[in-house]
Amino acid sequence: MKHLDDFISNLKKTLGDNLVSILIFGSQAFVEPENLKSNINLMVIVEHLTSDELKQISKPVQKWVKAKNPIPIVMGKSEWYSSFDVYALEYTDIKEKYRLLYGKDLTKDINVDKHYLRLQCESELKNLFLKYRNHYLLNINSDREMEKLANNVIKTLLVIFRGVIRLHNELVPESSEYVILQAAKFLEFDTDLLIKMANVREGKVDYKHKEIRTISDRMVLILQDILRQVDLMRF
């Protein structure tokens, strides 16, 4: 928590009136402040952003990252308001799970059109499928690499599934398992397999001997089929 307090204090001192707001987003947004230690996702919004402002806050940011935190997202106020379309998934996530640390609460103004949300779900799926095929070609004989790939795949799918659930005006569950089950109301896929992948990623279970190879083969068709279904969605 000390790192967070110091970081906010440095930004306020350095940026002054140019600092609009600071917020935590993601899984740590609802963690009690005294329990926050590291891996904290921050969004910093300023009135005007140039190279001068970036230089001014570079040292505090470097110190923040050295404390094992992701690099903060820093953007200008106008960029915040003009990005609801291209970052539809990210903005819907932020709106549901954030904590304001300083300044104005701009999340109240977030308004994401379903057209752009569906479009980004499709775009993310296409990118995921492309990367998966390339990784498959290069690493299919390495169980270790394919398990890493499976972890990345389920991580991205969970983000996309949250978007699909919101497209249908449903509340997004907290646990990965229930996100998968909720998404299965609108998409057809092997829920047991994806729940197993999520549980492995979260360290709850391990793959059985050579199981990852079977899963890797099946994921080619699963990703292709999910992509087809999202492509056909219209709102």
DSSP structural state of residue 71: P
In this prediction, residue 153 carries a pLDDT of 98
The most distant pair of C-alpha atoms in the chain lies apart, rounded to whole Å, by 58
> At residue 227, what is the residue type?
L
pLDDT tens, position by position, 16-32:
999 999 999 988 888 88
Domains in the chain: boundaries: 2-109, 114-232
Q: Is the confidence at residue 177, as pLDDT, over 90?
A: yes
Q: Is the confidence at residue 189, as pLDDT, over 80?
A: yes
Q: Is the confidence at residue 35, as pLDDT, over 90?
A: no
Q: Are 196 and 151 in contact (CB under 8 A)?
A: no
In this prediction, residue 2 carries a pLDDT of 77
Residues 6+ positions from 32 with CB-CB distance below 8 Å: none
Q: Is the confidence at residue 70, as pLDDT, over 80?
A: yes
- Distance linking the first and last C-alpha atoms of the chain: 43
pLDDT tens, position by position, 108-156:
999 999 999 999 999 999 999 999 999 999 999 999 999 999 999 999 9
pLDDT tens, position by position, 73-110:
999 999 999 999 999 999 999 999 999 999 999 999 99
Q: CA 36 from chain center: how many Å?
A: 19
Could you say which of 3.40.640.10, 3.40.50.720, 3.30.460.10, 3.40.50.1380 is the CATH number of the domain covering 2-109?
3.30.460.10
Banded pLDDT at 233 (limits 50, 70, 90): very high
153 to 109, 160, 210: CA distances (angstroms): 31, 11, 18
234 — phi, psi (to 5°)?
A: -140, 140
